[in-house]
Structures are given as structure tokens and as C-alpha cells.
Structure 1
Amino acid sequence: MEGSSGGRFYSRNPTILVIGGGIAGLGAAQRLCRHQGFRTQLLEATDRCGGRIRSESAFGGVVEIGAHWIHGPSKNNPIFQLALEYGLLGEKEMSEENQLIEVGGHPGLPSVSFSSSGKDVDLKLVEDVANLFYTLLDQTREFLHMAETPVASVGEFLKEAIHRHLSEWTDNEETKKLKLSILNTFFNLECCVSGCHSMDLVALGPFGEYAMLPGLDCTFTEGYEGLTNCMMTSLPKNVILFNKPVKTILWNGSFRDEHSPKERFPVQVECEDGEKFPAHHVIVTVPLGFLKEKMTTLFSPQLPHRKADVIRKMGFGTNNKIFLEFEAPFWEPDCQQIQVVWEDTSPLIDVRAELQDIWFQKLVGFIVLPPMESAYVLCGFIAGHESEFMETLSDEEVRSSLTQVLRRITGNPQLSGPRSILRSKWHSAPYTRGSYSYVAVGSSGDDIDILAQPLPTDSLSSQFQILFAGEATHRTFYSTTHGALLSGWREADRLISLYDSETQQQKFKL
């Protein structure tokens, strides 16, 4: 039976389309497919699921092109719980002890710190600078419920505080300069964590709303994609349609489907290949970067001004990885993390230079990956415009630049460069256009809620025609895989409860 109760399209067997096969889309589809009576279809633009979770076979092992860690692997983390359910974690990762460790969201200290003049930086000095940086960063989280903040951004707050500390430093000039260079590396590292070009772009007021879970960040030995593969194979056959990029989502209409001519649908999704999918509800899980680029053509009618404005204002930046494969390691056997400090840099000085001359200076260093078959691999992190510029270079240009960097920082001009490289290119990925979201200056947690609000917003029209999920729609866990998964579940549950209450009402009327 299809009726229009109070202006709503009501169907006992609603057709629900999920757009995007990342973890938010898979989570929503999984939940909806368990509900008897829902006709669920997932449209994925590419030939694979996982979205920004992407593991690749390389160097005789598996590397993470996208999501790397389970952040806060403990009982309240749904990614951790799902990984346990699917048996994807080792004993160490599952241990009670690891789940209780509080890291405060800060990356660990480096095993070795190299300066751009080829000297080892004293690790005690690095630790002192790290303590100062993270003490100040923790203070930025205290402005959450204040009507006004002293400055607009996290970056400005940190720089003003460093300025004040600078006058109290009793070190010689050389050490002061080195401390500022180390601080600059921590600023760049925080850009990788936040997925932004500069901490000056990150809003100070809402920064404390981002929530961190306890647990020692851990990885999947067989690859993060094992998780999304398990979710994918749990879905009934033919639920996922691959290579189906969506061109337009038409809503607030009355569309027909040739397979059920008597039924009317408020939404119709048109794919790039011309195929049309009428639906009662569409859950949009595409990345914010894609929405920013395509929202004017993706929705017809266009999104309400308030939602479109939020999409424009919210932050979405790029954090890329560069994997370097070596025949033999130049680092010590127990080395886990290599920091790179560019001398004569400072967070208090803006650099004016061409990207091609300095892009590699944004690289914060490398983590040492577990040894693979016959390869030794470093994974470097780089964020912002420099990261986006790096994507435009050839593999050989990147390899050559980083070989020069490594020779320079180790002080060994004969150092053998990497024999091969592999890197992510999230900014140029057409359906992603960056890495993850942050709350930008001029936006707030309320904006995240506005982005997550279903359309149409007036209750007189058909309810929940377009729903929104994805990491950028989770107010406290934005930028994370667990935020993305929870958002997919949230929208699936919204529809499940709508139909459960509709069913109750129908029974009551009878």
C-alpha cells in the first residue's frame, strides 16, 4: 500500500538508496538490510568499497593508503568492536591493558630527530618542546562554552602563547632558534592530525568539542580494508552496484518506477551513465570535499541556503602519505618514528616561497613500518597545500626530492635513495577531493548538526527524503572512521524508527 498520510509518501516496503560505499555507507546499508521489508541499494562511484579506508598490497606486505589507525580502541569505539566481532585484531591490540591507556589524542614522541643540517637533535630538547606544545594545545580545548574567544583560531592562540613563553626562555640564541624550529614541526604534525593547511584555519571555540576515546591507537595487521570487506560480504547479493557515479539527486518530486507503476517516489537519483533510481529515501555519505565541489549540480532543487552555506564554510583539507621502500635501513633496529626538523623555520614566521622549492619542508617525518618480506619501508606524512602540490609531481620527482632530503638530514651524501615509492593522492581523487573535515574559523559544531539534518526540513513535506552521513556529519568524532560508522548507523536508525512508528500508527488506525 502506498499512501500519502499528512503529505508523506508512506510505503510498507520503502526503497532506500545509499550513495557511497565508504564505512558510513556500508554501516547504513548493513543496518537497513537487517530490517525486513526495506528495499536497499548502495551506489558506489568506483570499482571498490571502503572509500577513505584503502589498503594496498605493496613491498611484499600491506600498506594503508587511507585510514591508518583505530583511534581510541576501547569498548566505546564501534570500529574496535566490529573488528573484534570479525576477528581482525591480534592479542596485543585486544588486551585490556591497551584499552585503558589514555594518550590524550597526541602522537608519540620520535625515536630520533634529524635536523636539516644533518645533526641529531637532542631528544630531551624535543621532549621539552613537545610538552610545551601539547600543554598549550590542551589549553585550546578550554574555550568550548565561552561566548567569545580571545582569538579566532587555534593557530593564533598557540602563537600568542609561544610569544609569551619566548621572553622567559633562558637558552642561548642558537637553542632558542632550534626550539622554534622543533615547534614548527609540531605545528605541521598537528596540521596532519587536523587535516588542514594551517592551524590558523581551525576554529578555537569549537576545538574542544572533538572527543577522544581511551586506548592505545592500533592498526590492522592484514589491512584496514579487511573490515570494510567483511561488512561488504555480509550484505545480500546485488545490494551494491559498483561504477555508479551519481550525477543528480532530484527531490521533493513525484517520480514513477517502471517496475511498480502505481507507486510514486519523492526522490530520484540519476547516475552519470543515465540510469535512474526512484526512491523513498536517499542517504548521502559522500565526503565533504565532494559536496563542496559538486553541491550546485548534485541536488535539484538546490540545497537550502543554510545547508549550502555550512558546506562552504566547513573545513576539509588534505593529509597524504608517502611510502619509501629501501633495500637496507639507514635507521636503528629499534627506531619507530623519525622526526625531521627544518632549521631556521618558526611557527611565528610566515614563509613566502614557491611551493616547488619548499613543499618537502612540510613533511613532518616518518614512521617505520613493520619489516616486510625483503623491504624496509618508511611512511611519511604531509598536509596542506604542500601535500596537494606533491600530488602534481611525478613519482620520480618525489623520489628524487626525498632522496636529497634524506641525504641532507642524515649528513650522508652517499645515502642510497629509496628503490621505490608509493603515495596517496586524496586531493586529486575525484570522489573525495581531500582527506577529512575540521571545524574551520567561521563554523561551529552547530554547523555539523545542520549538515547532518535530513531534507526537507519542514515536516509538512515527505519526511527524510535526503539524509546525510559521513565523518563530517558527526559533531564530536568528525575526521574519524568511528565517527563515519556511527553517522551511517544514525541515519539508518532514523529511517528504521520512522517506519516502526508508522507501522504502529497504521495498526492503531485499523
Structure 2
Amino acid sequence: MEKGGGKGGPSSSSPVVVVVGGGIAGLGAAQRLCRQSVFRNLRLLEATDRCGGRICSQPAFGGVIEIGAHWIHGPSENNPVFQLALEYGLLGEKEKSEENQLIEIGGHPGLPSLSLSSSGKNVNLKLVEEVSNLFYTLLDQTREFLHMAETPVPSVGEYLKKEIAQLMVDWTEDEATKHLKLAILNTFFNLECCVSGSHSMDLVALGSFGEYCTLPGRDCTFSEGYEGLTNCIMTSLPKDVILFNKPVKTIHWNGSYRQENFPGETFPVLVECEGGEKFPAHHVIVTVPLGVLKEQMNTLFSPPLPRRKTEVIRRMGFGTNNKIFLEFEEPFWEPDCQQIQVVWEDTSPLEDVRAELQDIWFKKLIGFLVLPPLESTYVLCAFIAGLESEFMETLSDEEVLSSLTQVLRRITGNPQLSRPRSVIRSRWHSAPYTRGSYSYVAVGSSGEDIDMLAQPLPADFLIPQLQILFAGEATHRTYYSTTHGALLSGWREADRLISHWDSEAQQPKPKP
């Protein structure tokens, strides 16, 4: 393959399109394009040996666990992931019910079934509910600053802490209860870090927090695994579309390339893989996570991305939220328990902790989700975000298991509590083709930055157009961080190409 002369406009027969990344954004784009007869030359390059990306279901404990995406958030008529799941018959009767679709939860997780403190005591659930109402009332207030010219403080975290400090003046409880309320609030701060995908709510922009939109419906799961959805999309594609183990090294654009399989044709883009294979294209849809763009943007594109695009990538937030699954022979919780909250009594959102991560990383755990019993085993799923989550990835399984055994013995007040039988955990920050979990609007960035990230290249109106298109959850202004945002972004870029080629077809042809 060699660089040729000329600008190489769109082929008169069928454009060559390459999709980079086999997550739900890339799969959604490929599926939509394949339904149009004009897009006969389509390839999807996936860096690993599986599709799904941050949707990752794994057989374990006699069932299936979700290493990545866990819930359909807002399963209702306007959620494309929910609608696809219905179409493919992947949901149970409860999940499909109209009642489930109409429930408004405002994007907030439900209350715990059990709240345990670091001194081994049960925390009063009425107190937890009171603190929860306070926290989410304040959190909802932060959305009111959207589109305001100025905000009182830069971040969501600073706003929440300022309001809490003012409200504390009127608290009438004894000192021990006041401290406990602050400790419970700290757990809700940590929970919101998991929801937002940030290390601290001090990193999340106050003025843009309201960009994110929730959908009605009680969050639901796939009984057979979330990956069933991406597998269904995969099987709908022609068998030769997806190429596995093809990590992309460089996307050369704004050039004119030739390829022997297309005699007389020139291409503005050339996708070069780490193994040396090269794929010419008229259009490339890049769906890699924002974490990968942050790490590789200086080498992934040649010529480099425009400065406005690289500045946006640097400004936007991309954090880590991991799961730790613990398997038990016998449960220490009641049969109707669904969620166990952990409250560290020596913590407060109003105090900065200065300590080595190795000594405190487990305090960022928000608690444990009780998974449905699997065969003859019982499983808890812990959630942890931020730098503590990334530190956890550096530990061995034995170190994690040992630390969490001590945590469980401490919060239950039972020093003889049986050690979990095994542990499985996610490591999204270490994953080379992910580098984290999902995006958020960081202090210094805005909703406009999300739109800028989504803008195709080249930005000027020179021919050829739409050489590089961008999709993925980080490019959806109102549903960033979600699977439905990722899917919609893939559809958006596919529709952009479909519209472009429809208009090309309608252009008057020059007379011979």
C-alpha cells in the first residue's frame, strides 16, 4: 500500500468504513450501517479477543457475574438498550412490566437493607434514610446551576460540603449522633463517586452536573448476562465484518492512500494496526474509551488531532469504578437482604484524610450488593471508586481477600466470621484498551466539550468530509457514562454517514 496523489473523494460505488472498537457503540454503529446496502465494505477492528468492551459478563460461581456494566439504567420506552433487550427477548417478566418502566427514581440508588458500622454495630435505618434524603435533596439542587453564568463554587463536592456545614449548625442531636450522620454522609459521597466515576466529587463540575439526564424505570439486570445483548448484535452482522485482536496503532488521515484491492481508488484514511496490517478507508468511526484517548491521543492520530480536540480530551473527566466479588459457603446476612452499607465512623466529608492508600483503600468501599444465590454458593459484590480503586488493582487476590475479610469481621462484630471462599474483581484502570470506567464532566470542562469531542474531522469543508467520526459514552452530552449513551452515540455517527451518502447520491452528476 502506498500514498498516492489526489484527494480521493467518496467512491461512486460503496464507501469503505472502518469502526475502531467493538463495544456497544462500535457494534451499534456497525449494525446500523450494515442495514444499508450502500455500506458493503465495512470492517470492525477489535483490539481484544471479545466484543462488548465495558460490557463484560463472566461465568462464575455457578452463574454469570457482570465485570463491567451491571444495570440498564432507566429501562423505559426511550432507552434504546432496554428496547433492544426486549426485541432480543433477554428480559424477564418483572423487568418488562409497565409498572417497572414507570417508576421514577431520579437516578439515585435505593436504600440499603442493612447498614453496618466500623465498630460492629447496626446503624439505624431510619437515620440512614434521613441522611439519604438530605444528601439527595442537596445533590438534586446542584443540577439547578446548569447554564448559569457563574456558580458559587467550582465543584459538586464543594457545594455539598458548604451546604452541609451550614445545615449542621441547626442539628440538635448529641455529638455521637452528629458524628455518625457525617460518617453516613461520607458513605453517600463515596457512593456518588461510584455513580459519577470520579475519585472525588470535588473533581465534578457544578455548572455542568445537570447535563446528565435520567430516564424513568427501576434499574434492571440481565439474568443471563449483559453480554447477551452485545452477542445478539454481533450475530446480526455479516460474519466477516468483525476482526479480533486488531489493536490500532495509528490512524493516518487527511491523506491519499492506495490499496491493491481497490485499483484506481484513493482513500483519505489509513488505519494501521500494531501487527502491521493496514486498512484503507473513506471513513473511520473511533469508539475507544476516553481513557484510551487520554493516554494515546498523541500517537493514535497522524497528523495529530486539532488542538481544540486535544484540550477537550485533557479537560474531561474519566475515572475508575471497580467491583470485588466475594464468594461464601454460607451467608451471614438475612435471606431478604439485598444491599449492605458500610459506615466508617471515623470519617466525614468535611475532613480531608491524609494517609497512605495501602492503609485506607478499603474505606472507600461503599458496601456490598447481595447477588441472587447461585447454585450452592453466596456472593457479595463490593463497589469501590477512585484512586483507592486503582490502588486495589495493584494488590494480589490474597491481599484483597485478606483485607476484606478483616473489614467484614469488623463490621459484623464477629472476629470468627468465615473467610470468603474466593474473590474475583475488575481492573478497569489497568486494562490497556479501557484505562478506567466511564466519563464525567470535570471541573474546567463542560457539556460543550462533550459536543466538541463528538465533532467529526476534518472540521473545515475541504473534500473529503467525515474522515474520522467519534462515538462512545463520553461523546453523548446527556447520557454520558451509560450503555444507552454509548449505543445512541454509535447510531448517531452511523446516521451521519448514512445521511452523508444519501446526499452524495442526490448530487447531480456531471454531463459526459
TM-score, structure 1 as length reference = 0.98
**In 1, Cα distance between the equivalents of 2:172 and 2:401?**
41
Q: Which residue of 2 aligns with 1:402?
A: 404
Q: Which residue of 2 aligns with 1:294?
A: 296
Give the superposition deviation at 1:6: 9.8
Deviation per CA, 1:44-70: give whole Å up to 9, x if none.
000000000000000000000000000
Give me the identity figure in percent. Answer: 80
Deviation per CA, 1:268-292: give whole Å up to 9, x if none.
0000000000000000000000000
**In 2, Cα distance between the equivalents of 1:264 and 1:233?**
31
Selected match of 2:168 from 146, 149, 166: 166
Give the superposition deviation at 1:5: 12
Q: Which residue of 1 aligns with 2:14?
A: 13
Counterpart of 2:323, as a letter, is K
**In 1, Cα distance between the equivalents of 2:509 and 2:378?**
65
1:39-438 residue pairs with structure 2 within 5 A?
Answer: 39-438=41-440
Counterpart of 1:283, as a letter, is I
**In 1, Cα distance between the equivalents of 2:104 and 2:9?**
48
Q: Which residue of 1 aligns with 2:451?
A: 449
**In 2, Cα distance between the equivalents of 1:122 and 1:226?**
40
Q: Which residue of 2 aligns with 1:22?
A: 23
Counterpart of 1:44, as a letter, is E
Give the superposition deviation at 1:506: 3.8
Counterpart of 2:32, as a letter, is R
**In 2, Cα distance between the equivalents of 1:461 and 1:398?**
55
| Residues 250 and 273, structure 2, Cα contact 8 Å, conserved in 1 | yes
Instruction: State how many pairs are aligned.
Output: 507
Give the superposition deviation at 1:12: 2.6
Counterpart of 1:393, as a letter, is L
**In 2, Cα distance between the equivalents of 1:11 and 1:316?**
41
**In 2, Cα distance between the equivalents of 1:508 and 1:476?**
43
* Residues 1:460 and 1:7: Cα distance change in structure 2 (over 3 Å): farther
**In 1, Cα distance between the equivalents of 2:510 and 2:489?**
32
Deviation per CA, 1:182-234: give whole Å up to 9, x if none.
00000000000000000000000010110000001000000000000000000
Counterpart of 1:501, as a letter, is S
User: SS of the residue aligned with 2:151?
Assistant: coil
Give the superposition deviation at 1:258: 1.0
**In 1, Cα distance between the equivalents of 2:231 and 2:14?**
27
User: SS of the residue aligned with 2:121?
Assistant: coil
| Residues 74 and 215, structure 2, Cα contact 8 Å, conserved in 1 | yes
User: SS of the residue aligned with 1:56?
Assistant: strand
**In 1, Cα distance between the equivalents of 2:12 and 2:155?**
48
Deviation per CA, 1:16-47: give whole Å up to 9, x if none.
00000000000000011111121110000000
User: SS of the residue aligned with 2:31?
Assistant: helix
Listed as ranges, the gaps of 5+ residues in structure 2 are none
Q: Which residue of 1 aligns with 2:463?
A: 461
| Residues 130 and 186, structure 1, Cα contact 8 Å, conserved in 2 | yes
Give the superposition deviation at 1:9: 3.7
**In 1, Cα distance between the equivalents of 2:10 and 2:380?**
55
TM-score, structure 2 as length reference = 0.98
Q: Which residue of 1 aligns with 2:507?
A: 505
Counterpart of 2:192, as a letter, is E
**In 2, Cα distance between the equivalents of 1:323 and 1:198?**
23
User: SS of the residue aligned with 1:261?
Assistant: coil
User: SS of the residue aligned with 1:205?
Assistant: coil
| Residues 7 and 460, structure 1, Cα contact 8 Å, conserved in 2 | no
**In 2, Cα distance between the equivalents of 1:73 and 1:34?**
25
Give the superposition deviation at 1:8: 4.1
Give the superposition deviation at 1:461: 3.3
**In 1, Cα distance between the equivalents of 2:217 and 2:511?**
50
